[in-house]
Structure 1
């Protein structure tokens, strides 16, 4: 099935409406009642165990694992969920060919895992779906070229050699260049549709890619109008995403007509100086018409991370907002423990925020093709840094309302740095999943095992929380 055929079939479904709601309000299976409070570990395999930990000087495991970048319900079976990996294990690295990333498993293929929760709370993997190009070959997690959002990251092997088109031959700029991949994804958002297909959003473009049930690409949306693969385009302002902080969350309305994506952090709009802010953007894409809309989300702290968005109704969604701290100190030990680590889930309502396309233009408020809505010659990011949110409200622009639903540190003493997966099980139960980074960490570009405390290696762990998701 191609994306255009699929989109045409949606025409009869309807459009975004405030009352659309497919959320189950009563528990759908007994597994939620018997689930252990301390969570349940997801299974993993070992990708390699021959590298030496830079802290212990002992071999350590790189695990797959890694199924924590996004999470969503299997719409066809209540006790199953899908989870997404990102581009694969990596670490900051600066080598002979410039700054970039070390990819200790450079051939890694991003994938979607289907997991099942049994009545006793054990989590098992049902299957793994490798992501593929339209013709069926495997994609990689390597960076895109600059024309499609690449930020100049050079991919390196764990031995410090660059990843080349042919690693068996020496580097040559013309005949054996550094390997980049315009189909490469750093996946962070996941939607599973009732027809068995998926949408994945990422941090590179950001790209939003439609995959069939076997993981083969059948459509794409991004902000690059020259990309012939696109079925629709995002507003050009999303080209200014901050490196490695792209479209971190993706959801879809209950009628499956409208994608809703959230950016992890403030855009570099128009430059890096603008990114140190608490203003982030939400974008909706109507899959029937291609029409987009934008809303603003205000973070609790500058440079926090919005790590997931999940659907409640056509206008109400859950959003993970977190910092990067470890409750127990993580790899840096107890001296870096953060008892006030922020791992929050908020409920938002898009209807309470200003839709940016409806803001009236004037001598003060204009639109720029690349930078979007401008006020007195400043981007929204710049204007808010300079003048504050009250001044923005005086211009008729307000963020969406948000209400705290779950504080995971208070609820379960959440020990992980990353909280990136949400599974809306029913109106009173929420699944939460961490990203374990393939159990790897790095200090000054050197790889090591990722620990939560002195004795505990980080792993993907599912938590199920009882909470009033819908509110009044």
Structure 2
């Protein structure tokens, strides 16, 4: 550890930073890489279930986005990080009134999406959550439950408990996935439901909210459900940029074929919006497999952005520099996704900066991204999915899977699809993959500044 700590002192003197997991570091292609597990013991979520592996507590998940808060005089660093809508998991096929309905299990349905502060202390080889700021509307904490059907932002999902009871909706529900700060210290957050972009004050009170047809282009309502805005950032001019997570679905035809992801620019003063096209990589089985993880402005119309998904049979987590200079504004219709603008527009330019997998990253979801003032050190956090997954048990089936069952909400019976008969099942929580259970914060220092 002595060598590592000497590195820290030198780097901090230059305004540069690194971090470490148990003193382990990686180096590839001149990139210096170290990481910490983020300790969040003081912010465990209360859980009413009796699964022994959880002991009535669920790991928090402050890893859906990241923004630098401060580099302090004592060498510590602080970052804002945000949760998503809370612990949730896949459900069996759910049928009501003869129609399939999408949905999720919500084991802690009153969870409030929150902004956490991660403090990294190189001298003590620690990273900790030190504060949590719950999001509120008119002083009342929101939840991550779906927006009611018929309202802007609805995904028409059903939120369920493990007994298949409907937990209801929340008109203010958010599935938060992005965070940035403006010059006044307000938070800008983005959401996968709407997609929504919202402004919150320092205490987490939402004071402005934009959605399709509500200050954002109406075409954005065609986002794939739960693939709304995955990242948001504020540039040096105060303009807000939000990226849709995946290609949009126009008339049910383009979710897997569209070549581009939409970028939306919002001027929060004039309320003017402009859209641009980001070209996804070409190695996916279909373009719908492409997902944005997070974005951060680096100035002068340029951004860092995580693009991830399985390409050519392998999971990829890639950081690109995206340049909007010279990019063509995109109209508020579906022509982009339908291919009608091919050859007629200039999309955003992209340049690969960092392949996280080549630097030792082995986690599925890289979802928080920041750049330190040295313009060399890229910081990434993972979404740990609250350290949980869904477990289904059926004594009559050797290896039951959620996908093998259909719940008839009208008859209130669980049907095993193979024999078409009702089965008695037990649904509970289990831990997700060992390497995914904890939040981690990684620092990648490039050989040259961006």
Normalising by structure 1, we get a TM-score of: 0.74
Structure 1 residues 449 and 464: alpha-carbon distance in aligned structure 2, compared to 1, 3 A threshold: farther
Structure 1 residues 71 and 161: alpha-carbon distance in aligned structure 2, compared to 1, 3 A threshold: same
Shift of 1:60: 4.0
Q: Distance in 2 between matches of 1:122 and 1:218?
A: 34
Shift of 1:354: 1.4
Q: Does 1:122 align with 2:108?
A: no
Unmatched segments (≥5 aa) in structure 1: 1-25, 164-178, 226-232, 326-337, 358-371, 385-390
What per-residue deviation string (whole Å, max 9, x for no partner) do you get for residues 168-197 of structure 1?
xxxxxxxxxxx2112110001111234332
What does residue 200 of structure 2 align with? 211
Is the contact made by 1:435 and 1:460 (CA closer than 8 Å) also made in structure 2?
Answer: yes
Shift of 1:162: 1.3
SS at match of 1:267: coil
Is the contact made by 2:16 and 2:377 (CA closer than 8 Å) also made in structure 1?
Answer: no
Is the contact made by 1:51 and 1:59 (CA closer than 8 Å) also made in structure 2?
Answer: no
Q: Distance in 1 between matches of 2:122 and 2:430?
A: 32
Shift of 1:398: 2.2
Shift of 1:34: 5.4
| 1:419 aligned to which of 363, 366, 370 | 366
SS at match of 1:238: helix
Is the contact made by 2:187 and 2:199 (CA closer than 8 Å) also made in structure 1?
Answer: yes
Q: Does 1:136 align with 2:139?
A: yes
Structure 1 residues 149 and 35: alpha-carbon distance in aligned structure 2, compared to 1, 3 A threshold: same
Unmatched segments (≥5 aa) in structure 2: 1-10, 26-33, 391-400, 404-426
Is the contact made by 1:241 and 1:268 (CA closer than 8 Å) also made in structure 2?
Answer: yes
Structure 1 residues 144 and 260: alpha-carbon distance in aligned structure 2, compared to 1, 3 A threshold: same
**1:11-410 pair list within 5 angstroms:** 32-33=17-18, 35-36=20-21, 37=25, 38-45=34-41, 46-48=44-46, 51=49, 59-60=53-54, 63-74=58-69, 79-93=77-91, 94-95=93-94, 97=96, 98-120=101-123, 121-133=125-137, 135-145=138-148, 146-163=150-167, 179-225=168-214, 233-255=215-237, 257-300=238-281, 301=284, 302-303=287-288, 304-323=290-309, 340-356=314-330, 372-373=332-333, 379-383=335-339, 392-393=342-343, 395=344, 397-410=345-358
SS at match of 1:380: helix
Is the contact made by 2:245 and 2:292 (CA closer than 8 Å) also made in structure 1?
Answer: yes
Structure 1 residues 340 and 273: alpha-carbon distance in aligned structure 2, compared to 1, 3 A threshold: closer
Q: Distance in 2 between matches of 1:109 and 1:340?
A: 34
Q: Distance in 2 between matches of 1:409 and 1:182?
A: 39
SS at match of 1:152: coil
Structure 1 residues 401 and 436: alpha-carbon distance in aligned structure 2, compared to 1, 3 A threshold: same
SS at match of 2:17: helix
Structure 1 residues 49 and 236: alpha-carbon distance in aligned structure 2, compared to 1, 3 A threshold: closer
RMSD (Å) for aligned C-alpha atoms: 2.6
Is the contact made by 1:434 and 1:460 (CA closer than 8 Å) also made in structure 2?
Answer: yes
Q: Distance in 2 between matches of 1:274 and 1:96?
A: 23
Is the contact made by 1:131 and 1:216 (CA closer than 8 Å) also made in structure 2?
Answer: yes
SS at match of 1:283: strand
Normalising by structure 2, we get a TM-score of: 0.77
Q: Distance in 1 between matches of 2:174 and 2:370?
A: 22
Is the contact made by 1:347 and 1:403 (CA closer than 8 Å) also made in structure 2?
Answer: yes
Is the contact made by 1:95 and 1:160 (CA closer than 8 Å) also made in structure 2?
Answer: no
Shift of 1:425: 1.1
Is the contact made by 1:28 and 1:425 (CA closer than 8 Å) also made in structure 2?
Answer: no
SS at match of 1:206: coil
What does residue 467 of structure 1 align with? 446
Shift of 1:35: 3.7
Is the contact made by 1:185 and 1:202 (CA closer than 8 Å) also made in structure 2?
Answer: yes
SS at match of 2:366: coil
Is the contact made by 1:49 and 1:59 (CA closer than 8 Å) also made in structure 2?
Answer: no
Give aligned pairs, total: 377
Structure 1 residues 71 and 34: alpha-carbon distance in aligned structure 2, compared to 1, 3 A threshold: closer
